[in-house]
Amino acid sequence: MIQVRQDMHVHSTFSDGRDTIAENAAEAECLGLIELTCVDHVRAGTDWVPDYVREVRRVNVTTAVELRCAVEAKLLDVAGNLDLPHGLQNVDAIYAADHQVPLIDGPHTPSEVKAMISEGSLSAEEVLEAIVTATANSLRVGCPVVIAHLFSLLPKLGLSEEQVPLMLIEELAASTADSGSQIEVSERWRCPSTRTLGPFLKRGVQLLLSTDSHRSDTIGRYDYCQRVVEALESPMAPQRSSPTP
């Protein structure tokens, strides 16, 4: 079962969010959410993580909502390296995000990769495989990973999730299950699709609903996620085996 009274990806003033952690938690409490994950963007040079962790823990004791503390980092390359500060400690999860295209020689902007595809120096298949492989390799970082808005980049590259071979998705779902990692369903990016999520659910990977909110007034409001949950939990869903009588 997928928990819907949660928002597992909300930004605060520690990175590019408008509202403070306390304001975000207050909004979540008002909405009757059970869980909220504070997620802020980090890079290799980020130095505020200890202050951030302390603030999430401080607010957690003042609210009925269970707060988790996570950071979001860009996938850098096919090896699965992430743009993380050295010595990261005490966070509950790392959100591995495809903000740029992680290729063998490092991250590339979507417009660069789109041009490479159209001039024929890189194929769509190679790009899709690079994104999936980078994501799978990032799961070995040694801290629980949440796969953030998987495939959100594809529309910017002129590609769609339907083009990702099911075999690649099955392999990623298996690695995610084996490593005890999780995957989010993103309201903001309206991805991944039910086709992508089916193999994860089938293997028992926990799906997390998230808005990727950058302001408190969008926390916990779902339309896309609601429809995905309904489709995945429908007895007609082809990805689920039918319940035994």
Those residues whose C-beta lies under 8 Å from the C-beta of residue 116, and which sit 6 or more positions away, are 108, 122
Q: How many binding residues for Zn ion (CB under 5 A)?
A: 3
Q: Provide the β-strand partners of residue 73.
A: 96
Give me the least distance between CB of 178 and Zn ion, in Å please: 24
Residue 212 touches Zn ion, criterion: CB under 5 A: yes
Name the burial class of residue 119, with classes exposed (0-12), middle (13-18) and buried (19+) by CB atoms within 10 angstroms of its CB.
Answer: exposed
CA distance 154 to 173: 19
Stretch that binds Zn ion, among 43-51, 162-170, 195-203, 210-218 (CB under 5 A): 210-218
Q: What's the CA gap between 112 and 122, in Å, rounded?
A: 11
Least gap, CB of 17 to Zn ion (angstroms): 9
Indicate the residue among 44 and 64 with the shorter CB distance to Zn ion.
Answer: 44
The total of other beta-carbon atoms located within 10 Å of residue 171's CB is 15
Confirm if 9 and 191 have CB atoms less than 8 A apart: no
When the beta carbons of 101 and 241 are compared against Zn ion, the nearer one is 101
Residue sitting closest to Zn ion (CB): 97
Q: Interface with Zn ion by CB under 5 A: which range of 18-26, 169-177, 202-210, 211-219?
A: 211-219
Site for Zn ion in 85-114 (CB under 5 A): 97
The single-letter DSSP state of residue 144 is -
Q: Between 6 and 45, how does the x/- string for binding to Zn ion read (CB under 5 A)? A: ----------------------------------------
Assess 184 for contact with Zn ion (CB under 5 A): no
> Which residue do the tokens 């996570």 mark?
70
Q: What is the dihedral of CA 78, 80, 83, 84, to 10 degrees?
A: -170
- In the complex, the smallest distance separating the C-beta of residue 3 from Zn ion, rounded to whole angstroms, is 19
Residue 146 or 169 having the CB closest to Zn ion: 146
Instruction: Output the smallest distance, CB 11 to Zn ion, in A.
Output: 6
Amino acid 24 reads N
In the complex, the smallest distance separating the C-beta of residue 202 from Zn ion, rounded to whole angstroms, is 26
State the Cα–Cα distance between residues 37 and 14, nearest whole angstrom.
14
Comparison of 97 and 150: residue with beta carbon closer to Zn ion: 97
The site for Zn ion (CB under 5 A) is made up of 72, 97, 212
